[in-house]
Amino acid sequence: MGASVEQQAVVQRDRMKALLEAVTTISGELDLQVVLRRIAEAAALLVDARYAALGVIATDGSLAQFVTVGLDEEQTERIGPLPHGLGLLGELIRHPQPLRLPDLRAHPSSYGFPANHPPMTTFLGVPIRVRGQVFGNLYLTDKRSGEFDDGDEALVLGLAAAVGITVENARLYEGSQRRERAAAATTEITTSLLSGAEPETVLELAAERAGALLAADLGLIALHYGSRLLIEVSWGPAKSSPAGTLTADGPLGAVLDSGEPRVFEPRQLSHVWPGIELGAAVAVPLGAGVCVAARASPGLPFTAEEVAELTSFAAQATVALELAQRRRDTERLSVYDDRDRIARDLHDLVIQRLFATGMQLEGAVRQIADPVPQGRVRQAVDDLDQTIREIRSSIYALQHEPHLDSPSLRARVLEVVDAGEELLGFAPSLRLSGLLDTTVPEHLVDDVVCVLREALSNAARHAKATAVSVLVEASDDVVVRVVDDGVGVPLGGRRSGLRNLAERAALAGGRFAAQPGATGGTDLLWRAPLTR
């Protein structure tokens, strides 16, 4: 009996030593994701469990993250989506107390296993608390040497209590790293603006830095246009990019109106990224728009600290953008002042002197008898008159610069789409792509606007459509594409509008086609090269 007690003491000492080594190893890490995996691995090793998992609890009580040990990548892929915290896993979320079962399948809350899931029997679950709040749960199954006992439960509880401090340290470290990244990003944006970078370039930079700040999988920056939002830039998978899309302001507009950040539950913004299963998302006001960051499902929820960091970053970026806009306005006013001064100097000095010289030559002509030199002087007077007319034209151009005051192509397209909404009775979807305001030459701007107006008018008057999508793109060509789900182009019907579009394309050296859409309706495609 004494030997048995001594053996138990040795076993207990070895287990405590293993616990201390596990805690020491874990506490040396500051990366939160690495910490979570090492906690699960250490727990499985301590109690000789075949499988282990650590579930991080979201604000709504579901599992925001589920780190597994014992399953390889192939098994995980065959099992499918990770659990959301229902069944037996949810039991520990609802009742954060240690739970030990000889057969988890017999528990009333057990739902069974999904297809391709390995069979499991024995179960031990304990909560992990950080600052008195339940951060997540440790789940251990299939002890190799029998059932989980009191000693196993005590060991895992000790591990959970010890690593709570490590988790908190990792979260604090992440917060400090995030603040450093935010400060560096703000400095980079300000430097870029002061160096004269284009606003579109700076918005792209701000979007990328905001995503990196929160380790987001995707996101966007949208600016307010009328009653809707235009998504200016986005980051994330290229195939899902909503950049250039005009969307109803909806919940994002509410963020802009209130001026307060908002955290969205999973899939609340799925209409912005169709085809992607979204997790949590956060939107913060950014000047006359909003900045959105989202995580693909499954993913960790955004913490209050992360939302505060993004809000602070967006506020500083807004100030930098506003200052840059004021600087551009000041520079433009300075240019206008210089142009006015040059125009006055040309008028008051140059033209008057040329006019006086011409008058003197006119007087001298009458005193020249020889017709040859007289003709040369008259020609000089005519040349002076022509020079005066050209200078006056230049003065007018300096004082009136139409292209600086006229709306940009992007703004004119938005106006046409807004007007089309009144005709159609619903809002057409719009996507803008490329540098429309800088690469499309003036001789094509009116064509693009007229083509779009005609196409939307046809869809409203003849197509009987319930949905219309518009694409305006500038790459090698400028492209206008309008697709509706209406009745299509009738055979033998009037085609004066379509003929007008074809003529415009021909005059611009491009081409035009009107054909049935892939799922019905009409697909109008007009394109012209950017160079004559």
Binning pLDDT at 50, 70 and 90, where does residue 525 land? very high
Question: What average pLDDT does range 55-66 have in this prediction?
Answer: 76
pLDDT at 512: 92
> Do 188 and 213 touch, CB atoms closer than 8 A?
no
Mean pLDDT is lowest, of 206-210, 319-323, 467-471, for 319-323
- DSSP for 251-300? HHHHHHHHT--EEEPTTTTTTTSTTS-EEEEEEEEETTEEEEEEEESS-P
Left (φ > 0), alpha (ψ -120 to 50) or beta: where does 416 sit?
Answer: alpha
pLDDT at 199: 67
User: Does CATH place domain 196-302 in 3.30.450.20?
Assistant: no
pLDDT tens per residue, range 394-433:
776 666 554 444 577 888 888 888 888 878 888 888 888 8
Average pLDDT, the chain: 79
Phi, psi of 245 (to 5 degrees): -90, 135
Pick the CATH number of 2-174 from 3.40.50.1860, 3.30.870.10, 3.30.450.40, 3.10.50.40: 3.30.450.40
Amino acid identity of residue 350, one-letter, is V
Q: Higher pLDDT residue, 452 or 87?
A: 452
Q: Where are the domains of the chain?
A: 2-174, 196-302, 330-405, 409-529
Q: Can 2-174 and 409-529 be said to share one CATH topology?
A: no
Amino acid identity of residue 416, one-letter, is V
Most confident of 209-223, 244-258, 474-488: 474-488
> Do 218 and 238 touch, CB atoms closer than 8 A?
no
Binning pLDDT at 50, 70 and 90, where does residue 6 land? low
Question: What average pLDDT does range 23-44 have in this prediction?
Answer: 79
> Do 99 and 160 touch, CB atoms closer than 8 A?
no
Which pair of structure tokens corresponds to residue 18? Answer: 């293993």
Amino acid identity of residue 113, one-letter, is F
SS3 of residue 447 by DSSP: helix
- The yes-or-no verdict on residue 138 having pLDDT over 80 is yes
pLDDT at 402: 47
Which pair of structure tokens corresponds to residue 35? Answer: 């910490």
pLDDT at 403: 47
pLDDT tens per residue, range 285-310:
887 788 888 887 666 677 777 888 88
pLDDT tens per residue, range 96-112:
889 988 988 888 887 76
User: How many other β-carbons are positioned within 10 Å of the β-carbon of residue 149?
Assistant: 13
pLDDT at 479: 92
Question: What average pLDDT does range 488-515 have in this prediction?
Answer: 77
| Segment holding 19, helix H or strand E | helix 2-27
CATH topology classification for 409-529: Heat Shock Protein 90 (3.30.565)
Q: Is 150 exposed, middle or buried (0-12, 13-18, 19+ CB in 10 A)?
A: exposed
DSSP 217: S
Q: Higher pLDDT residue, 524 or 236?
A: 524
Which pair of structure tokens corresponds to residue 259? Answer: 């001026």
